[in-house]
Amino acid sequence: MSAGSRVLSIQSHVVFGYVGGKAAVFPLQCLGYDVDVVNTVNFSNHSGYGRLGGTKTTAAELSEIFQGLERNHLLLPGRLLTGYIPGADALSAVADLVDKLKSENPDLIYLLDPVMGDSGRLYVAPDVIPVYRRMLARATMITPNWFEVETLTDISLKDLPSLRRAFAVLHEEYGVPHVVISSIPLAPWLKTALPPNLSADLDPEANHLLCISSSATPAAPSASVVHAQTVQLYPGYFSGVGDLFSALLLAHFVPGDASSVARAASQALYKTHAMLRLTYEHSETLPEDDRQATDDEKDLADPLRKVRRMRGRELRLVQGQDILRGISLQGVREMQPWETFWAPR
Amino acid sequence: MSAGSRVLSIQSHVVFGYVGGKAAVFPLQCLGYDVDVVNTVNFSNHSGYGRLGGTKTTAAELSEIFQGLERNHLLLPGRLLTGYIPGADALSAVADLVDKLKSENPDLIYLLDPVMGDSGRLYVAPDVIPVYRRMLARATMITPNWFEVETLTDISLKDLPSLRRAFAVLHEEYGVPHVVISSIPLAPWLKTALPPNLSADLDPEANHLLCISSSATPAAPSASVVHAQTVQLYPGYFSGVGDLFSALLLAHFVPGDASSVARAASQALYKTHAMLRLTYEHSETLPEDDRQATDDEKDLADPLRKVRRMRGRELRLVQGQDILRGISLQGVREMQPWETFWAPR
């Protein structure tokens, strides 16, 4: 078994649909990884449906599983992926395991997705935040969303200087080698800040998301190597997209120079976007009832309205597995260097 | 979503290795099925390692998950696969779900693997036996092993007449349409009983396993359509093989005539055997320490001895995924009709 060929994935499990482990494990397996799968929750479906059944795995249960693996010398991952872990106790149990794995194998490639919330809303207990901050130093790369960057750094991202400060804090204060933010709404200030090689081919008619990667360079601690790329935004919300992106980023990462994460991000971004397109196009073929736009009032009046919409927007991972394998993969839009990111205006 | 394209899988989960759901879900996904995955246990590894950590899902927890799925109208399987479910309470919760699914969708294709024990040893609570007997009538097909056939029918299988009686009991008394027993040690009496089309090409130097399928025929209730095929036996024990076979049998099953299960079994048997060969050949490349023959005394003295052997014999599902997809699938040895099975001597 080659060192990097085994992934330990620690995140949520849902029976129906594709978020957390259900969005990450199959892609990793398709790409040739043996995946050891720890379920931090066992839920019927993701929370976007509004209602769910199931239980969270307690810290004690997680520790018992980790001890079982350890006693049998089955903790052999070359790569580690952690995602949604609800509650500080459970997260601390995972943090202890990470410390152990890292001390035994300093080469362990660890992708930490600090799943805490989105668009201004925290959906984990606030006491996980300090635990995540402690864990950051162990990570090879992290994949926070916009809100999670703000939460971890306590910096409100409202302009390029604040974004610079956030990256500096993550790299220098918390010691994170690589930061990848995969789907940033392209606010006007951000659009304006983009260098020509990124803003040139933006369709003025379309909405876009930005993917940024920032890799620390020991040479220039106050700066970092920044890459970015834009993708078109598909209307409406899709669940599990970040989980899929993180799995693909870890799968495609080949340790190397300061651009190695950007190269992996190019693959992950391309495949995730292709999967999203497949899913979106499928959702558009569904009966009108199954693709009603988000409307909290109507959803409240008829909970099944939301359920039908969610169901129709589950990732088409199985149907699109050739995308995951990169079969007939072409036209990958590489992440572009953002040379001027640290340049003072 | 086409009717048969969604599978609900209810069986064990292990973090490391490939048994239960870990042996079934990936193959089903590779073959294009969306799989809804219910974990009846969350263990660190399979019991063959001698030690494990983790917890069983309680009947209450299972019911809560099922209710969550039902409230969200997410119980949409065209096919159902149930495997290891420890304890009568948990099994009863699953039995209730099966009743509900069957009443809502009589066309549901249900493969029931009555996982209870092996080679004379029961490894579930005895009170599951009556529950399984009640569930048999709901199944489209069942995949018991030799011991489980004896346990369900209370018939000791020692000759052709007793095997006939067992099939008759399963088809007539318990109302099972299709029975497939995938890996029967080819005892002398069984070898002698084989018709020429099955015994002809047996290598006298090698050990073999027999796969038998028996499909009830409403026309002749006292008889059934029996097919069989032999495969060479690989030395030593491999875990999860039956779970893989059952998943492939369900995946390849196309409802049709009395031979439709035999056709699916041909595919399942071929792919399972190819995966076993890949796994066996890999295990033979391991350091001698990792492929010590089974020796209870030595294993007791050094538990890690057993662990290393088990680890080296985990199914190579990920490495052999082309086998699962049937890429360059050739030389399938079809299940052969056993015309004389019911013919009196």
Does residue A44 belong to the interface with chain B, where contact is any CB pair within 8 Å? yes
pLDDT tens, residue by residue, A45-67: 999 999 999 999 999 999 999 99
Task: Tell me which DSSP letter residue A327 carries.
Answer: T
CA A146 to chain centre: 11
pLDDT value at A16 more than 50: yes
**Alpha-carbon dihedral angle through residues A57, A60, A66, A72, given to the nearest 10 degrees:** -120
Active site residue B243: yes
Q: Which residue of A has its CA nearest to B11?
A: A15
Q: List CB contacts (< 8 A) between A55 and chain B.
A: 61, 64
SS3 labels along chain B? CCHHHEEEEEEEEECCCCCCHHHHHHHHHHCCCEEEEEEEEEECCCHHHCCCCEEECCHHHHHHHHHHHHHCCCCCCCEEEECCCCCHHHHHHHHHHHHHHHHHCCCCEEEECCCCEECCEECCCCCHHHHHHHHHHHCCEECCCHHHHHHHHCCCCCCHHHHHHHHHHHHHHCCCCEEEEEEEECCHHHHHHCCHHHHCCCCCCCCEEEEEEEEECCCCCCCEEEEEEEEECCCCCCCCHHHHHHHHHHHHCCCCCCCHHHHHHHHHHHHHHHHHHHHHHHHHCCCHHHHCCCCHHHHHHCHHHHHHHHHHCCCCCCCCHHHHHCCCCCCCCCCEECCCCCCCC
Residue A26 has pLDDT above 60, yes or no: yes
Q: How far is B190 from chain A (nearest CA, A)?
A: 39
Of B19 and B203, the structure prediction assigns the larger pLDDT to B19
Average pLDDT over residues B302-311: 88
* Confidence tier at A275 by pLDDT (50, 70, 90): very high
Nearest CB to B68: which of A44, A308, A311? Answer: A44
Q: Annotated catalytic sites of A, by residue?
A: 243
Residue A333 in this model has a pLDDT that exceeds 50: yes
Residue A1 has pLDDT above 60, yes or no: no
pTM: 0.96
Contact B54 A69 (CB under 8 A): no
Query: How far is the alpha carbon of B15 from chain A, nearest alpha carbon, in Å?
Result: 5
Chain-chain contact of B16 with A69 (C-beta, under 8 angstroms): yes
Interface of B with A in 24-43 (CB under 8 A): 26, 29-30, 32-39, 42-43
Distance CA B259, CA B213 (A): 9
pLDDT tens for B161-217 read: 999 999 999 999 999 999 999 999 999 999 999 999 999 888 888 899 999 999 998
CB contact under 8 A, A44 and B13: no
Please count the residue pairs, one from chain A and one from chain B, whose beta carbons lie less than 8 angstroms apart: 141
Q: Which tens digit of pLDDT belongs to each residue from A294-324? A: 788 888 888 888 899 899 999 999 999 999 9
Going A281 to A81 to A249 to A227, the CA torsion angle's sign is positive
**pLDDT digits over A121-162, tens only?**
998 999 999 999 999 999 999 999 999 999 999 999 999 999
Q: Is B73 on the interface with A (CB under 8 A)?
A: yes
Interior angle at CA A2, CA A335 and CA B43, nearest 5 = 100
The pLDDT value given to residue B345: 58
Residue among B89, B96, B201, B243 flagged as catalytic: B243
Q: In Å, what is the CA distance from B312 to each residue of A1, A4, A24, B49, B236?
A: 10, 17, 25, 11, 11
Q: What is the mean predicted confidence (pLDDT) over B113-129?
A: 94
pLDDT recorded at residue B45: 98
Task: Measure in Å the smallest separation between the Cα of A344 and chain B Cα atoms.
Answer: 49
Element (H, E) at A111: strand A109-112
Max CA distance (Å), chain B: 58
Distance from CA of A35 to the nearest CA of B (A): 8
CB atoms B318 and A32 under 8 Å: yes
Alpha-carbon gap, residue A241 to A275, rounded angstroms: 9
Q: Of chain B residues 7-26, which have a CB less than 8 A from chain A?
A: 13, 15-17, 22, 26
* pLDDT, position A95: 98
Determine contact: B49 vs chain A, CB below 8 A: yes
Whether residue B51 lies within 8 A of chain A, CB to CB, comes out as yes
Which residues on chain A are in Cβ contact (under 8 Å) with B52?
68, 72
pLDDT at position B1 = 39
Residues 99-118 of B with CB under 8 A from A: none
Helix (H, G, I), strand (E, B) or coil at A315: coil
Please report the ipTM that was assigned to this predicted complex.
0.96
Secondary structure letter of residue A137 according to DSSP: G
Chain B closest-CA separation from residue A215 CA (Å): 32
Kindly report the average pLDDT of chain A as a whole number. 94
Give the Cα-Cα-Cα angle A297, A298, A304 (nearest 5 degrees). Answer: 125
Task: Answer yes or no: do B15 and A55 touch at CB < 8 A.
Answer: no
Give the pLDDT confidence score for residue A230 in this predicted structure. Answer: 95
Mutation target vs A (from B36, B40, B72; most A CBs, 10 A cutoff): B72
Contacts with B289 from chain A: Cβ below 8 Å: none
